């Protein structure tokens, strides 16, 4: 019977163009055999260093790492009989089996560990199962003509028709596209979530056929529904309550009828879970509140490193699912206590925000400064800080703090 651990190593050496299938999915925990683990370590180091991998080179390095000659010969013999053109398919099948076997081992250990405790939690087991999924480089055609065809599609069919509802911003961005990531940044208490909900309401009313999802990881779902009601009916929360209590079912029918394709999620999810839910519900426009509460893939690394990894994964999720994602981001103390103008460099404390975002919007409240409270009563300041399609600008927004409704002021800035 073929040793698929050795066969996987052999295929990655023999066919460097498919080595990504192995290298993107394997780590030292994947292997049961010590020699396969040692050989993988050698192979990984060579590719990391940019070395050209050849059999004469790896023969010597494998031997130095403790791989026996019989195992090296076994790797070479594993290549016999593989049909031309099927190498990647076979390597993928081998790696998938190795990952499943690894997940089975780890899941059984975790279940046994959990069984000894007073409370049983499935979270750790779920993470093991999620980690068993294959990572791959998407097949793509790099020809210039293909890029041109995608451009034609982009300027004709791919327009989402989605904007923020703030005309000055939307004129500059010329509609946001599916597959893009738009960040909304602000300190706590500056109306960041209100901005997100106002944008969602605007998108839903202007594009009633679009499927929209709001992932509220900070507030309960009821709070999001209440804020939507306030904006839609231009009433305070205290005015909405008695209206709803008079006829809850009737009010519900009217309210949900206005927003038939809006879904509100209240759980705290990782990026893989978000992606699965986006696909399951066929969401086209997604709001995530907020980056700091998105579960990291693992707890390794600093908060900066974790946030950077999450940004990369969320950007890839937008592209993979062809959805437009609005990501709310809570800034650190570099933004003062919310009164200072938000600048793009404030994003750096939260990872690769500037690099990964197609658009970045900042929101702040100058009225939090007592000296400016009168001037900025019922107002917020916003800025388009990054626009991959062109210009940026600031504007003033009338913010009815009683109802939460936001409207761009004319001739603002």
In the chain, the domains with their CATH numbers are: 4-131 (1.10.860.10), 151-408 (3.40.50.300)
Q: What is the arrangement of strands in the sheet containing 379-387, beginning at the earlier edge strand?
A: 262-265, 212-216, 285-289, 324-330, 181-186, 359-364, 379-387, 393-399, 406-408
Quickly state the pLDDT bin for 223 (edges 50, 70, 90): very high
Give the C-alpha separation, 412 to 395, whole Å. 5
Give the C-alpha separation, 36 to 58, whole Å. 13
Average pLDDT, whole number, for the chain?
A: 88
Q: Which of 114-118, 224-228, 399-403 has the lowest mean pLDDT?
A: 114-118
In the prediction, which pLDDT does 88 show? 87
In the block, residue with structure tokens 């000659």: 69
In the prediction, which pLDDT does 337 show? 84
Specify burial of residue 80 (Cβ count, 10 A radius: 0-12, 13-18, 19+).
exposed
> Does the structure show a pLDDT above 50 at 270?
yes
In the prediction, which pLDDT does 1 show? 42
In the prediction, which pLDDT does 28 show? 86
Give the C-alpha separation, 86 to 187, whole Å. 53
3-state DSSP of the chain: CCCHHHHHHHHHHHCHHHHHHHHCCCCHHHCCCHHHHHHHHHHHHHHHCCCCCCHHHHHHHHHHCCCCHHHHHHHHHHCCCCCCCCHHHHHHHHHHHHHHHHHHHHHHHHHHHHHCCCCCCCHHHHHHHHHCCCCCCCCCCCCHHHHHHHHHHHHHCCEEEECCCCHHHHHHHCCEECCCEEEEEECCCCCHHHHHHHHHHHHHHHCCCCCEEEEECCCCHHHHHHHHHHHHHCCCHHHHHHHHHHCHHHHHHHHHHHCCCEEEECCCCEHHHHHHHHHHCCCCEEEEECHHHCECCCCCCCHHHHHHHHHHHHHHHHHHHCCEEEEEEECCHHHCCCCCCCCHHHHHHHCCHHHHCCEEEEEECHHHCHHHCCCCCCEEEEEEEEECCCCCEEEEEEECCCCCCEEECCCCC
Q: Express each pLDDT in 332-381 by its tens digit.
A: 777 778 999 999 888 755 558 888 999 999 999 999 999 999 999 999 99
Give the C-alpha separation, 313 to 270, whole Å. 10
**Are 161 and 178 contacting, i.e. CB atoms less than 8 angstroms apart?**
no
Return the higher-pLDDT residue of 314 and 28: 314
Mean pLDDT of 268-294: 92
Give the C-alpha separation, 32 to 129, whole Å. 18
**Are 58 and 44 contacting, i.e. CB atoms less than 8 angstroms apart?**
no
Structure tokens given for 406? 């936001």
Give the C-alpha separation, 276 to 317, whole Å. 10
In the prediction, which pLDDT does 333 show? 76
In the prediction, which pLDDT does 170 show? 94
> Does the structure show a pLDDT above 80 at 303?
no
In the prediction, which pLDDT does 2 show? 61
Mean pLDDT of 185-207: 94
> Does the structure show a pLDDT above 60 at 412?
no
């Amino acid at each position: 019977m073929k040793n698929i651990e050795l066969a996987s190593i052999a295929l990655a050496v023999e066919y460097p163009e498919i080595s990504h299938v192995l290298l993107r999915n394997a780590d030292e925990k994947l292997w049961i055999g010590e020699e396969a683990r040692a050989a993988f370590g050698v192979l990984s180091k060579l590719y990391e260093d940019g070395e050209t991998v050849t059999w004469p080179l790896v023969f010597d390095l494998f031997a130095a790492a403790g791989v026996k000659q019989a195992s090296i010969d076994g790797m070479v013999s594993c290549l016999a009989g593989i049909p031309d053109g099927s190498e990647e398919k076979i390597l993928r099948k081998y790696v998938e089996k190795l990952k499943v076997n690894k997940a089975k081992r780890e899941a059984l250990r975790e279940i046994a560990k959990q069984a000894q405790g007073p409370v049983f939690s499935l979270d750790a087991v779920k993470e093991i199962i999620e980690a068993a999924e294959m990572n791959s480089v998407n097949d793509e055609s790099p020809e210039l003509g293909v890029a041109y065809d995608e451009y034609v599609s982009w300027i004709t069919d791919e327009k989402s028709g989605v904007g923020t509802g703030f005309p000055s911003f939307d004129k500059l961005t010329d509609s946001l596209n599916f597959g893009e990531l738009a960040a909304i940044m602000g300190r706590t208490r500056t109306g960041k979530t209100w901005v997100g909900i106002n944008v969602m309401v605007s998108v839903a009313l202007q594009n009633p056929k679009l499927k929209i999802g709001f992932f509220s990881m900070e507030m309960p779902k009821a709070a999001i529904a209440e804020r939507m009601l306030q904006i839609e009916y231009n009433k305070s929360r205290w005015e909405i309550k008695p209206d709803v209590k008079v006829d809850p079912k009737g009010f519900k029918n009217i309210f949900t009828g206005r927003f038939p394709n809006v879904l509100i999620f209240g759980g705290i999810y990782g990026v893989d879970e978000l992606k699965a839910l986006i696909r399951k519900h066929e969401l086209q426009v997604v709001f995530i509140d907020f980056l700091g509460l998105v579960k990291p893939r693992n707890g390794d690394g600093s908060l900066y490193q974790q946030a950077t990894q999450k940004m990369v994964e969320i950007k890839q999720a937008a592209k993979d699912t062809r959805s437009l994602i609005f990501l709310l981001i809570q800034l650190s103390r570099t933004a003062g206590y919310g009164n200072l103008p938000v600048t793009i460099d404030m994003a750096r404390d939260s990872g690769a925000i500037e690099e990964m975002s197609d658009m970045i919007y900042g929101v702040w409240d100058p009225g939090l400064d007592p000296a400016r409270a009168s001037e900025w009563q019922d107002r917020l300041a916003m800025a388009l800080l990054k626009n991959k399609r062109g210009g940026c600008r600031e504007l003033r927004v009338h913010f009815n703090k009683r109802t939460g409704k936001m409207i761009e002021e004319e001739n603002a800035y």
